[in-house]
């Protein structure tokens, strides 16, 4: 009867290792699915951010065009040539202000993209399963030596 104990322990350990390897396979599959979902979500988020950024840029350009057209019309109505002197400086100032605001939005856009980025180095816990299997083998070896 005492001779059966190591054999039973060995069989139980083998079954435990098999169960742990099956669980590791399931965990690895789930980790791949979760990573694929994270990539899809990140791409969707990037598309939304890109759409928002392009919409903001288009709105800013339209506002700039309206502002410049309005200023040029007022200056022309006052008898000033809108392409020379202070009128040209005014339109240049409007363009520089719009460019600075666009640069600020670009920095914000890049920061939002960077903040939403997931790491591709996420752990999938596959080594944990093998470590547990090694512990089981260690218990078997200790049992056989006792």
Q: Confidence class of residue 122 from pLDDT cuts 50, 70 and 90? A: very low
User: pLDDT tens-digit profile of 17-57?
Assistant: 888 888 888 988 998 898 888 888 888 888 888 888 888 88
* Percentage of residues of the chain with pLDDT beyond 70: 80
- What is the helix (H) or strand (E) element at residue 59, kind and residue range? helix 4-77
Q: Nearest Cα to 142, choosing from 3, 16, 9, 4?
A: 9
Cβ within 8 Å of residue 43, ≥6 positions away: none
Q: Confidence class of residue 111 from pLDDT cuts 50, 70 and 90? A: confident
> Is residue 13 a contact partner of residue 136, using CB atoms and an 8 Å limit?
yes
What does the alpha-carbon distance between residue 98 and residue 63 come to, in Å, rounded to a whole number?
A: 9
Q: Nearest Cα to 37, choosing from 49, 47, 26, 45?
A: 45
Q: What is the mean pLDDT of residues 51-77?
A: 86
Bigger pLDDT: 119 vs 45: 45
Q: Would you list the domain boundaries of the chain? A: 4-145
Q: Nearest Cα to 91, choosing from 105, 102, 80, 103?
A: 80
């Amino acid at each position: 009867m005492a001779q059966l104990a190591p054999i039973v322990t060995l069989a139980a350990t083998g079954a435990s290792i098999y169960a742990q390897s099956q669980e590791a396979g399931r965990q690895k599959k789930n980790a791949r699915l979760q990573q694929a979902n994270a990539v899809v979500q990140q791409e969707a988020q990037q598309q939304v951010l890109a759409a928002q950024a392009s919409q903001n840029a288009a709105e800013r350009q339209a506002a700039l065009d309206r502002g410049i057209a309005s200023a040029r019309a007022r200056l022309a109505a006052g008898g000033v040539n809108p392409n020379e002197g202070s009128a040209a400086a005014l339109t240049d100032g409007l363009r520089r202000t719009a460019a600075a605001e666009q640069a600020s939005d670009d920095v914000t856009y890049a920061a939002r993209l960077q903040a939403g980025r997931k790491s591709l180095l996420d752990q999938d816990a596959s080594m944990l399963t093998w470590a547990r299997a090694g512990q089981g083998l260690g218990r078997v070896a200790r049992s056989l030596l006792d």
